[in-house]
Copies of this chain bind each other. A is one copy, B any other.
Amino acid sequence: MSGDPEKSEQPERAAVHGLSADFVAGLVEWLTIPSIGNDPARLGDVARSATWLADALRRDGWPDVRVWDEGPALPAVYASWPSADPSAPTVLVYGHHDVQPVDPVEEWTRPPFEPVVEGDELFGRGASDDKGQVAMHLLGVRAHLAATGGSAPAVNLKLFVEGEEEIGSPHLPELLDAHRADLASDLVVFSDTPVYARDAPTVCTGQRGVYGAEVVFVGGSSDVHSGRAGGGVPNPVTALARLVAALHDERGAVALPGFYDDVVPPTDAERADYASLPFDEDAWLANSGGARVAAGEEGWSTLERVWVRPSAEVNGFVGGYTGPGLKTIVPARAEVKLSFRLAPGQRPERVAEALRVFVAEHTPPGIRSEVIPRGDGVPPYAVDINHPAVVALREVVEAALEQPVRFARSGGSGPAAVLHQSLGVPVVYLGVTLPDDRVHAPNERVVVSQLLRGAEAAARLWRVLPERLT
């Protein structure tokens, strides 16, 4: 399928090729703005980043561009470009323009906000996550128009680029609610995920949800010397350790009552895709905090465990004396932070209720327990792989990357499910960045050619979607 990019069967590729230098120059400029959403000193930069994007969209000809900066959400950018055909489907593209902090900054070999292109790599904070994939869409629309020769896209396009994804999108539901009419669409194209591997590209079809809570166990009103009472009173640290120990059964499954009742497993076709992906366990472990072995629920592969199966994790445990040396006390208090990754079908509120029941059942006499929910959680999400938009998406990505594309999932949690829940339409994932782009870490980079192929895929998608969605 490779060959002369100028040939007429690949008009999107030719258009992308012609616009690539301008694309890189624009992205480099955008990446100089340190739009770190969790840093109060950088809030002006988040606003500058939104303004930069709005200006770029206007330059590209988007007829309606707005910066939503009325608060409390950090500034988001909205733009729309109606199709010449009013009956065409409406597609909302999602991305974000805020970036992760840069600590430890001393580990960057190039300053994080002085982007540099070296060969096919562009280094800088946000290059991959997620300014690169937003800029990819701007390029995709330009290429789509160039390839089709139209003055408006074949679909009604909307773009929504939020400014606080890296701090957990805390105001996303409010923002979606406040702009419901603007955001109304038939489909969301979500662009904030990578492919599985450069030589094993994938289309993501869903993400796990998450629910988190703290559990506090209190025994006495103060610590007591173990010479006085050791062996004679309940120890809340021991009691809470027993609760944590009971959180998984001997098969590695989560032991909350009814935890798996609502889980919708992946289809056989999806499992077959996951199984056919190249999996280097050593490399996976090295990229998973340097874990020594894979472990988890019996009956599922590692990828399935982290993509499609729910999990329970203790994120932190503290109780009693934790300073240097020993202090022979029976502690008064212990606390754990728990979080549950949720599989499609599960609902955070049902898991919250199951946790309350579980904690009550595991609170021994003499201990007062409290469950403190940390937010409402994020629901899981998965799209039907036979949905015509998914089928089309896979085809355009295969064409752009000139490789077979398999289905995959993401084990993380994000705004895709919130968008689905709020807007009531399917969400599909168009992401072409690479798993070794070092997102959230020092020396983040993006591979420029991946973004160009992604822009080509997007341009193709806008061309083919009208016939696929009717």
Quick check: is A318 within 8 A (CB to CB) of the other chain?
A: yes
The 8 A CB mask of A253-293 against B (1 = contact, 0 = none) is 00000000000000000000000000000000101111111
Cβ–Cβ contact B290 & A220, under 8 A? yes
> Which residue of chain B lies nearest to A343 when distances are taken between CB atoms in the complex?
B231
Give the chain B neighbours of A223 by CB distance below 8 A. Answer: 289
Q: Mark A366-392, 1 if CB is under 8 A from B, else 0.
A: 111000001100000000000000000
Q: Which of B232, B244, B325, B332 contacts A237 (CB 8 A)?
A: B244
Mark out the residues of chain A between 321 and 340 whose CB falls within 8 Å of any chain B CB in the assembled complex: 321-322, 325-332, 334-335, 337, 339
A319 at the interface (CB under 8 A from B): yes
Does A313 have its Cβ within 8 Å of any Cβ on chain B?
yes
A288 adjacent to B229 (CB under 8 Å): yes
Verify A413–B310 contact, CB threshold 8 A: no
Interface string of A234-260 (1 = CB under 8 A from B): 110110111011111000000000000
A449 at the interface (CB under 8 A from B): no
B residues in contact with A309, CB < 8 Å: 231
Is A289's CB under 8 angstroms from B330's CB?
A: yes
**Contacts known (A220-B292, A289-B220); A374 close to B317, Cβ less than 8 A:** no
B314, A238: Cβ atoms under 8 Å? Answer: yes
Q: Tell me if A412 counts as interface (CB < 8 A to partner B).
A: yes
- What is the minimal beta-carbon distance from A266 to any residue of chain B, in angstroms? 14
- In the complex, what residues of B have CB within 8 A of residue A242's CB? 241, 244-245
Query: A226 near B: Cβ within 8 Å?
Result: yes
* CA–CA, A304 and B179, complex, Å: 69
Q: How many residues of chain A have a CB within 8 Å of chain B? A: 85
**Do residues A366 and B291 form an inter-chain contact, with CB atoms below 8 A?**
yes
The 3 closest A-B pairs by CB, nearest first: A227-B412, A231-B311, A224-B289
7 additional A-B pairs beyond A233-B293, A315-B331, beta carbons within 8 Å, are A220-B288, A234-B292, A244-B245, A290-B332, A315-B320, A317-B320, A318-B319
Q: Could you write out 23 A-B pairs with CB less than 8 Å apart?
A: A210-B227, A220-B285, A220-B290, A221-B290, A225-B440, A228-B412, A229-B289, A231-B296, A231-B411, A232-B296, A232-B302, A232-B306, A233-B296, A238-B247, A241-B244, A245-B245, A288-B330, A289-B332, A290-B332, A291-B366, A292-B367, A314-B320, A317-B317
